[in-house]
C-alpha cells in the first residue's frame, strides 16, 4: 500500500489550539514551582481527563472518543511544549496504562478498569524494567505462581511511571510464571491493584528531569491477586509488551517535538528582546543561524513523527510502521537533546539559571533518548528493517 502523506486536518489543528490553551492556562503558570517541589498535580491530571485526553483513542463504550492516534500525538506534543513531565504522564497513562488492557484484556477486565482510566480520574502503570531486566526478558526475576486460584507475586520493578500517585489504580507487571520446554522463562502479565497487601510503591526517585512525573521503584512480597488478573494469554506477556512499544515510540517522538518547539519559541522571543551593543542578539548571525537550525529540527521532527502516526492510523503493515516508529523516535529524541543545548547557548548565562524554562527543558530532554528504547536499540531495529543481520 502507498504510504499516507502526513497532513494534519483542520480538526487536528483546532484540537491543537484547545490543548494549547489548556496547557498555557492550567500548567504554564505553575510548572516552575511544581518542578522545584517535585510535585505531581493530580488535580490537573484529572482536568486533562475532563478534557478527554486520556480517552482520545479508546472506544466510546468505555467512555472514550474513539479518535485517531494522531490526535493523541498532538495532545502529547502540546503538553510537552509547556512541560515534558505532564506530557509523559499522558503518554504513559494511555500507552502503558490503558492500551495493554484495551488490547489484551477480557471484556470483564475492560469493563472493570477502563472507565476510570479512560476518564483520567485514575492512572495505571506498566512494570517491566528490573535492576537486571528490561529488554532482556529472560533476566526477569519477578515471579508469579498459582496457589488456590490466586497468583502469588514476588519481586521488584524500577523506573515505573504513574505507579505510586494518589490516583494510581493498578500496575500491570511482567513476571515469570513458569519455564518452557527449552528452558527459557515463561513471561506473563498480571494486573495488581494499588493497595493490594504486599505491593509497595517505594519512595519516588530524585530524578535529573521530569520532576513533576510520578516514578517509583516497586516491590512485591507475597502479593495475592485473583487468577483472572492474568492479562492476555499466559506466556505471552513480553510479546504483548513489545506490541505496545511501537506506539509508545511515536508518542515519545511527539513529546520530543514539543520540546524542540518550546526551545524554538523561547529562543526566538529571547533573541528579539535581549540586546547587546545596542542591537537584539537575533540580529547577529551567530545567534540567528542557531535558531534557524532549531526551526529545521522542529519541521523535520514533526514530519517524521506525524508520518509515523499516519501509518498507524491507516493500518499500515506492522513492519513498515515499526521502521517509521524507530526512525521518528531516534531522530526526534536526539534532535531534542541538541535543541535544548542550542537554546541554552542562546540564553547564555541565563540559560543556566533554573528561573528560565530552557534549563528545565535541558534537564528533561536526555531521558527521551533512553525511554521506550534507547537510541542504540532504535539503530539496531532500523538496521534490521534494512535486512542487515545485526545482533
Predicted pLDDT of residue 4: 54
Domain boundary among the residues 219, 234, 249 is at 234
* Residue at a domain's end among 187, 207, 234: 234
Give the tens place of pLDDT for each residue, 17-35. Answer: 999 999 999 999 999 999 9
153 close to 173: Cβ distance less than 8 angstroms = yes
Per-chain mean pLDDT for the chain:
96
- 186 is known as an active-site residue: no
Quick: pLDDT tens for 218-244. Answer: 999 999 999 999 999 999 998 888 888
Same domain, 138 and 84: no
Kindly state whether residues 228 and 248 are assigned to the same domain: no
Flag whether pLDDT at 355 surpasses 50: yes
- Position 391 in a domain: no
Residue 5 lies in a domain: no
Residues 180 and 215 in one domain: yes
Q: Residues 187, 269: one domain?
A: no
Task: State the pLDDT confidence band at 1, using cuts at 50, 70 and 90.
Answer: very low
One-letter-per-residue 3-state SS of 64-102: CCCCCHHHHHHHHHHHHHHCHHHHHHHHHHHHHHHHHHH
Each residue of 99-117: pLDDT tens digit?
Answer: 999 999 999 999 999 999 9
Whole-prediction pTM value? 0.96
CB of 140 closer than 8 Å to CB of 174 = yes
- Which one is catalytic: 60, 299, 372, 391? 372
Tally of domains in the chain: 3
Separation of alpha carbons 24 and 175, rounded Å: 41
**Three-state SS annotation for 188-207:** EEEEEECCCCCEEECCCCCC
Please name the residues in contact with 320: beta carbons below 8 A apart, sequence gap of 6 or more: 3, 311
Q: In whole angstroms, give the CA distance from residue 230 to residue 192.
A: 9
pLDDT digits (tens, 9 = 90+) for 176-211: 999 998 888 999 999 999 999 999 999 999 999 999
Phi-psi region of 278 (alpha: psi -120 to 50; beta: other; left: phi over 0): left
Same structural domain for residues 114 and 146?
Answer: no
Q: Are 205 and 212 in contact (CB under 8 A)?
A: no
Domain that holds residue 118: 10-122
- The predicted model gives 314-327 an average pLDDT of 96
**d(Cα 186, Cα 230) in Å, to the nearest integer?**
13
The rounded distance, in Å, linking the Cα atoms of 238 and 173 is: 10
Any domain includes 281: yes
Q: What is the DSSP letter of 269?
A: H
pLDDT at position 2, please? 54
φ, ψ (nearest 5 deg) of residue 313: -65, -30
Amino acid at each position: 500500500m502507498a504510504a499516507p502523506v502526513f497532513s494534519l486536518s483542520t480538526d487536528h489543528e483546532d484540537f491543537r489550539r484547545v490543548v494549547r490553551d489548556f496547557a498555557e492556562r492550567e500548567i504554564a503558570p505553575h510548572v516552575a514551582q511544581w518542578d522545584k517541589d517535585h510535585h505531581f498535580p493530580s488535580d490537573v491530571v484529572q482536568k486533562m481527563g475532563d478534557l478527554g485526553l486520556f480517552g482520545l483513542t479508546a472506544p466510546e463504550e468505555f467512555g472514550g472518543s474513539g479518535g485517531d492516534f494522531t490526535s493523541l500525538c498532538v495532545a502529547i506534543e502540546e503538553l510537552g511544549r509547556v512541560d515534558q513531565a505532564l506530557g509523559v504522564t499522558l503518554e504513559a497513562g494511555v500507552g502503558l496504562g490503558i492500551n495493554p488492557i484495551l488490547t489484551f484484556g477480557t471484556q470483564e477486565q475492560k469493563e472493570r478498569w477502563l472507565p476510570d482510566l479512560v476518564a483520567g480520574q485514575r492512572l495505571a502503570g506498566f512494570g517491566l524494567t528490573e535492576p537486571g531486566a528490561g529488554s532482556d526478558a529472560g533476566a526477569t526475576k519477578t515471579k508469579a505462581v498459582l496457589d488456590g486460584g490466586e497468583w502469588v507475586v514476588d519481586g521488584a520493578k524500577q523506573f515505573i511511571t504513574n505507579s505510586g500517585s494518589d490516583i494510581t489504580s493498578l500496575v500491570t507487571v511482567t513476571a515469570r510464571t513458569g519455564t518452557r520446554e527449552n528452558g527459557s522463562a515463561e513471561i506473563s502479565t498480571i494486573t495488581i491493584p494499588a493497595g493490594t497487601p504486599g505491593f509497595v510503591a517505594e519512595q519516588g526517585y530524585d530524578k535529573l528531569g521530569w520532576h513533576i512525573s510520578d516514578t517509583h521503584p516497586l516491590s512485591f512480597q507475597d502479593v495475592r491477586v485473583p487468577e483472572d488478573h492474568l492479562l492476555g494469554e499466559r506466556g505471552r506477556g513480553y510479546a504483548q509488551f513489545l506490541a505496545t512499544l511501537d506506539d509508545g515510540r511515536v508518542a515519545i517522538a511527539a513529546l520530543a517535538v514539543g520540546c524542540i518547539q518550546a526551545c524554538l519559541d523561547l529562543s526566538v522571543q529571547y533573541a528579539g528582546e535581549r540586546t547587546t551593543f545596542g542591537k537584539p542578539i537575533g540580529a547577529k548571525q551567530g545567534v540567528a543561524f542557531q535558531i534557524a537550525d532549531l526551526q529545521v529540527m522542529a519541521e523535520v521532527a514533526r514530519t517524521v513523527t506525524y508520518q509515523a502516526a499516519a501509518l498507524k492510523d491507516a493500518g499500515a503493515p506492522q513492519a513498515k510502521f515499526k521502521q517509521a516508529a524507530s526512525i521518528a523516535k531516534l531522530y526526534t529524541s536526539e534532535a531534542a537533546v541538541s535543541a535544548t543545548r542550542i537554546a541554552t547557548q542562546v540564553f547564555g548565562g541565563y540559560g543556566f539559571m533554573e528561573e528560565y524554562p530552557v534549563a528545565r527543558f535541558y534537564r528533561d530532554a536526555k531521558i527521551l533518548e533512553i525511554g521506550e528504547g534507547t537510541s542504540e536499540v532504535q539503530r539496531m531495529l532500523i538496521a534490521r528493517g534494512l535486512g542487515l543481520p545485526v545482533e
